[in-house]
Amino acid sequence: MQSNCREAIPDFWPSASALTPVFSAPILIRKPPLPQSLVSVVVPVRDEAATLDETLAALVDQVDFEGRPIPPSHYEVIVFTNNCVDESAAIVRQFARQHPEHQIHLIDQTLPPEEACIGRVRQILMDEAYRRRCWVAQPQGIIASTDGDSRVDRQWIAAMLHEFERGADAVGGRTVTQRAQRNALDARTRATYLRFVGYRYLIKQLEDCLDPDPFDCPPRHYQFFGANFALTHEMYALVGGLPPLPTGEDVALHQALLAFGAKVRHSFLMKVTTSARQQGRASLGLADRLAQFQQLSQHQQVFLVEPGAAVEAKLRARRDLRRYWRHYSADQPALLRPTLASLATRLAVPITMLQQAMEQSSSPGELYQQIEQHQQAAGLWQEQWGTVAIDKAIADLRLRLYRLRQQTPIATSLPLLP
């Protein structure tokens, strides 16, 4: 176990520059990975002494789909305790001593204030995992992420390996909140949270009808959260690593993968249970969302979302934009200018902006992200469609789904889980 990341690096390690020009930070773990290692699991921790034992216990108690233990040599766990004022680092050291057969590494650092944020810590961890995957030199080495307040399912690693064997470049697993903590929320906050989850699921199901992903087939979900995702080390390098953001780094990585055209699977098999606390360690995360729902509850206000009509219009326009992209990539833009003008109107963006985005984008995913950025900045889309109460949007989406499925039946999604 690595307990002091400032120790000298032994001669058998290659320099970071010898591995890749992208990730040049100092190597933090001296002990090399085992040759048979397949997965590096990263766990950022900030004062998680209350939950850390449970987090680590779940990571070492991994079995395959037949219930057989996964060999400890097939994966490693890298924990980064940053700026902790509790016993988190001591807990990791003690746990590693109690489980010597498992590869558990600790990076214990006090970062300067500008770097002591979840985005930077996860980036340091994933860069370190990337270098270790390069050292093993496996074509499909995997970097997986969870959090110190989360508990992975017993088949978590088996599920991710299954999805990568089926061709995924990255996998976002299903993240659920702890039942006891969720039940402790006041009734209105809990109801709003469950409606929000249902709303997001319904959008994905509408997408399966109108603009399906040929790789990410139903049943699937909408999540790609820091507590539960994985990707190949090669894809990590191809998208330039984890975006350098103080928070929201998981969402940004998901966007980068989609813009690159990666095959991203949203798997129900890969499950994690996480905290439902309302005072989190990072902004813009689940804790902030729950705090927002609670504030609305206290003021007896409803949560507003995009209406079902806007969601359907956006998905239909995105589908047609993909079709246009295929013709455009085949060097037939002159034949499609009237269609481009129609798409610009439907997407509430100037045709000049859409044409420029077409020329600059390397994939349909990147193109659509440019359009969404312009929509958010200009506000014309929001002005056109407005917002509605979430319960009204859910009822509308259900009706639209019913009508579409009457026309074209699709695979049934799994039941909604909070």
Q: Dump pLDDT digits (tens) for 18-58.
A: 344 445 568 899 899 999 999 999 999 999 999 999 999 99
Integer Cα distance of 291 and 283 in angstroms: 11
One domain for residues 268 and 321: no
One domain for residues 99 and 212: yes
Query: What residue has token string 């399966």?
Result: 208
Q: DSSP string spanning 67-103?
A: SPBPPGGGEEEEEEEES-SSSHHHHHHHHHHH-TTSE
Which residues touch 110 (CB under 8 Å, ≥6 apart)? 82, 83, 116
* Strand 103-109 relative to strand 150-152, pairing: unpaired
Q: Is the pTM of this model over 0.75?
A: yes
One domain for residues 260 and 325: no
The amino acid that residue 316 corresponds to is R
One domain for residues 72 and 134: yes
Question: What percent of the residues of the chain are helix, what percent strand, and what percent coil, each to the nearest 5?
Answer: 50, 15, 40
pLDDT of residue 275: 86
Integer Cα distance of 304 and 237 in angstroms: 38
- Does the residue 394 lie in any domain? no
Residue 356 contacts residue 383 (beta carbons within 8 Å): no
One domain for residues 202 and 325: no
- Does the residue 5 lie in any domain? no
- Does the residue 414 lie in any domain? no
Integer Cα distance of 344 and 173 in angstroms: 34
Length of the chain (residues): 418
The domain that holds 271 is classified in CATH as: 3.90.550.10
Which residues touch 82 (CB under 8 Å, ≥6 apart)? 44, 45, 46, 109, 110, 111, 116, 121
Domains in the chain: how many in total?
Answer: 2
- Does the residue 4 lie in any domain? no
Q: DSSP string spanning 286-308?
A: HHHHHHHHHHHHHTT-PPEE--H
Query: What residue has token string 């010898």?
Result: 18
CA-angle at 164, arms to 318 and 41, nearest 5°: 110
- Does the residue 263 lie in any domain? yes
One domain for residues 345 and 281: no
Q: Which H or E element spans position 144? A: strand 142-145
One domain for residues 157 and 183: yes
The amino acid that residue 231 corresponds to is L
One domain for residues 230 and 296: yes
- Does the residue 413 lie in any domain? no
Task: Tell me the residue range of the domain where 377 lies.
Answer: 308-386
Residue 28 contacts residue 1 (beta carbons within 8 Å): no
Integer Cα distance of 74 and 37 in angstroms: 4
Give whole-number Cα distances, 266 to 170, 217, 256, 271, 321, in Å.
9, 9, 15, 11, 23
Boundary of a domain, candidates 255, 277, 302: 302
One domain for residues 236 and 285: yes
One domain for residues 296 and 354: no
Which residues of the chain have a pLDDT value below 70?
1-25, 277-285, 333-337, 408-418
One domain for residues 116 and 254: yes
One domain for residues 204 and 335: no
pLDDT of residue 335: 63
How many Cα atoms within 13 Å fall on the side-chain side of residue 214? 4
- Does the residue 403 lie in any domain? no
Boundary of a domain, candidates 263, 286, 302: 302
- Does the residue 401 lie in any domain? no
Integer Cα distance of 194 and 188 in angstroms: 10
